[in-house]
Amino acid sequence: MLFHEIYGCYYNAVAEILHQAVNGDLTEKGMQKIVSEKAFSESFLTVVPSLKDEKWQLLKKDLSTPIKHEPSMPLTDLQKRWLKAISLDPRVKLFDADFSFLDGVEPLFTSDDYFVFDKYNDGDDFENENYINVFRTLMFAMRNKKKTKIGYHGAKGTFRIFVGDPYKMEYSEKDDKFRVLIRSCRNGPMLRVDGIESVTIIGDAFADNTREVLESTEHITLELLDHRNALERVMLHFAHFKKEAEKIGGERYRIKIFYDSSDETELVIRVLSFGPFVEVTEPQNFRNLIIERLERQKNIQNKEL
């Protein structure tokens, strides 16, 4: 069973509280802090009184505990089976991970049990030795706050050297590709990992450790007519964006989608895929991008006639 209290955040919070109690470090303030960090926003209303009032008989009034050892729990079969399943994934080679402790464990699933039917066909080669080396060096640099020198092949075949501090790996499930986010890089904040020929650690990262966050600063507004299940399709399709939706009457809806400006072309294509079910109402420059493609299409059709 996956939905089980042993995986719940109340159990996690209580384990941490008992951990401190066993070591004699527990205070009432500390208990509140643990609950607010490990559980939900209203959990303190239940967890703290339940322990203090001895409903859960694990803690005494003086915050001492009859528990003698720091709480721990072995892995469940579900957790082992999941780990075994991911150990069989080709992407796992990117990580220097040893799963030999799972010998004899049945995987929860294998590649025969699922199929991603619309992933692009030119994903990164996760089993390529150079790719693995580059990935691991970037991860090392991130973990240890190092500055790197990167030899990079751009999309148009140009080769350049960049110096910067890697701070995040972004993975796209659709593209099946990694990109690395780099601070202080002249080429903008993001490089394709499969474009990186070499990466070398050249020193410590800049003292400024603030991470540039990719913010969705642009937005488009769509109007949608809910026919042929368009509403559900559109809302699910754009579910990963920050968005707001409202009903504007009958079967018409207005949806505001926030996106990063570097994804504009992709968003144009995605809006086009919904055909006449959605109309971009603003901003005008985005609407013009749709109009431009439709005009080109109309011209082609007129030529055919």
Partner 1 sequence: MAYTELIKNFERIRDYMREFYVYGFKSRDEYDKKSGRSYDNERRRIESYLAEYMGFRQSEKGKNVFLSIDSRSVSHNPLYSVLKSKSFTDGDITLHFILFDILHSPEVALSLSNITAKIDSEYLSSFSEPIVFDESTVRKKLKEYVELGLVQCRKEGKKVFYSRNADTDISNLCDVISFFSEAGLCGVVGSFLLDKFSSIEDCFSFKHHYITHALESEILYKVFDAISQKRTLTVTNTSRRTQNDRIEEIVPLKVLISVQNGRRYLAAYSISYKYYKVYRLDYLSDIVMGEVYSAFDEKREKFSLMQKNMWGVVCDERRPLEHIEFTVHIGKDEEHIYRRLLREKRCGTVERIDERTCRFSADVYDSSELNPWIRTFIGRIENIEYSNKLYENRFNMDLQDMYRLYGLGGENNALSRDLRLLL
Q: Give the nearest distance from C-beta 148 to partner 1 in angstroms.
A: 14
The verdict on 222 binding partner 1 (CB under 8 A) reads no
- Number of residues near partner 1 (by CB under 8 A): 128
Considering the complex, what minimum distance in angstroms separates the CB of residue 3 from partner 1?
Answer: 5
Candidate list 132, 153, 175, 221; residue touching partner 1; CB under 8 A: 175
Work out whether 206 is an interface residue with partner 1 (CB under 8 A).
no
Cα–Cα dist 75/102, whole Å:
11
Query: Taking the complex as a whole, how short is the minimal distance between the CB of residue 260 and partner 1, in angstroms?
Result: 8
Burial class (CB in 10 A: 0-12, 13-18, 19+), 194: buried
Our finding on whether 10 is near partner 1 (CB under 8 A) is yes
Alpha-carbon distances of 112 from 99, 104, 109, 160, 274, rounded to whole Å: 21, 19, 8, 41, 32
Q: For residue 161, which phi and psi values (nearest 5 degrees)? A: -110, 135
Per CB under 8 A, the segment of 23-31, 88-96, 146-154, 193-201 that binds partner 1 is 88-96
Residue 109 or residue 159: which is nearer to partner 1 going by CB? 109
Q: Give the interface segment with partner 1, choosing from 24-32, 125-133, 195-203, 292-300 (CB under 8 A).
A: 292-300
Q: Which of residues 254-273 bind partner 1 (CB under 8 A)?
A: 258, 260, 269-270, 272-273
Among 8, 49, 90, 154, interactor with partner 1 by CB under 8 A: 8
Among candidate residues 173, 158, 113, 165, the one with its CA nearest the CA of residue 142: 165
The contact pattern for partner 1, residues 104-123, with x = CB under 8 A and - = no contact, is: --xxxx--xxxxxxxxxxx-
Query: Out of 49, 171, 261, 285, which residue is the one contacting partner 1 (CB under 8 A)?
Result: 171
Alpha-carbon distance 35 to 42, whole Å? 9
Which element (helix H / strand E) includes 286?
A: helix 284-304
Among 52, 83, 153, 264, binds partner 1 (CB under 8 A): 83
Q: Is 163 in the site for partner 1 (CB under 8 A)?
A: no
Q: Which region, judged by CB under 8 A, interacts with partner 1, from 25-33, 126-134, 167-175, 198-206? A: 167-175
Check residue 242 for interaction with partner 1 (CB under 8 A): yes
| CA distances in angstroms from 152 to 42, 130, 291, listed in the order given | 49, 13, 36
Query: Given the complex with partner 1, which of 161 and 302 has the nearer CB atom?
Result: 302
Count, residues in the chain = 305
Q: Which residue, 163 or 272, is less far from partner 1 as judged by CB?
A: 272
Say how far apart CA 276 and CA 264 lie, in whole Å.
19
Return the number of the residue (150 or 231) whose C-beta is nearest partner 1.
231
Residues 6 or more apart whose Cβ sits within 8 Å of residue 11: 5
Q: Which of residues 31-70 bind partner 1 (CB under 8 A)?
A: 40-43, 45-46, 50, 54-58, 60, 66-69
Taking the mean position of all CA atoms in its chain, how far away is CA 141? 20
How many whole angstroms separate alpha carbon 128 and alpha carbon 116?
Answer: 22
Rounded Cα distance, 267 and 280, in Å: 11
Nearest-angstrom CA–CA distance, 40 and 37? 8
